[in-house]
């Protein structure tokens, strides 16, 4: 059976088809092709969330995974992020969890948070 994917790499949302023989068509860039190849064997997603900040100008700091994570591990990773309490100042792209759940993925801050004077 032919499968259709909507590419989520960029907002263009290309509709990419995979036929019975595994032939992939309908992508308009290499990233779309790679997305579908990955999606067929091991679906992954970029993960973003927030963690608690101590003594900062902001109460929470946004963060993301440095590379995409297995789709079925997203909620487990979020639970790890929710345990954090990170002391300000925080630099943008500072690693806040190294190798989360041994998945080979780091969680990094996506904003600079100054110390609250």
Partner 1 sequence: MINKDLVIVGGGSAGLAAAISAYDSGVKDILLIEKNSELGGILNQCIHNGFGLQKFKEELTGPEYASRYIKEFKERKIESFLETLVLGINDKLEVRIINSKVGVETIKAKAIIMAMGCNERTRGQISIPGDRPRGVFTAGLAQKYLNIDGYLVGKNVYILGSGDIGLIMARRMTLEGANVIGVSELMPYSNGLTRNIVQCLNDFNIPLKLHNTVTKIIGKDKLEAIEISDVDDNLRPIKGTEQIIKCDALLLSVGLYPFNSLLVNAKAKSYSKTKGAFVDQNLETSIKGVFSCGNVLHVHDLVDFVSLEGEIAGKNAAKLILNGRKSVKNIINVIEGENVNYVLPNVINVTDGLDKVEFSFRVKMPIKRGEIRILDGTNIIKKIRANDLLPSEMKRISLTNFDFNNVKQIKVEVRVN
Q: Which residues bind partner 1 (CB under 8 A)?
A: 6-11, 13, 15, 45-50, 52, 57-60, 62-64, 71, 74-75, 78, 82, 92, 110-112
CB of 99 to partner 1, least distance (A): 20
Centre a 10 Å sphere on the Cβ of residue 101 and count the other Cβ atoms it contains.
Answer: 14
Q: 21 or 106, CB closer to partner 1?
A: 106
Q: 21 or 109, CB closer to partner 1?
A: 109
CB of 52 to partner 1, least distance (A): 7
CB of 17 to partner 1, least distance (A): 14
């Amino acid at each position: 059976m032919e499968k259709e994917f909507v590419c989520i790499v960029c907002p263009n949302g290309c509709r990419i088809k995979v036929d019975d023989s595994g032939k992939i068509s309908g992508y308009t860039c290499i990233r779309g092709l790679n997305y579908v190849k990955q999606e067929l064997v091991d679906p992954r997603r970029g993960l973003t969330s927030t963690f608690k900040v101590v003594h900062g100008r902001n109460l929470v700091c946004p963060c993301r995974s440095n590379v995409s994570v297995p789709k079925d591990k997203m909620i487990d990773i979020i639970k790890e992020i929710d345990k954090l309490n990170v002391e300000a100042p925080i630099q943008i792209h500072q690693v806040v969890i190294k190798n989360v759940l041994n998945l080979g993925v780091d969680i990094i801050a996506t904003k600079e948070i100054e110390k609250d004077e």
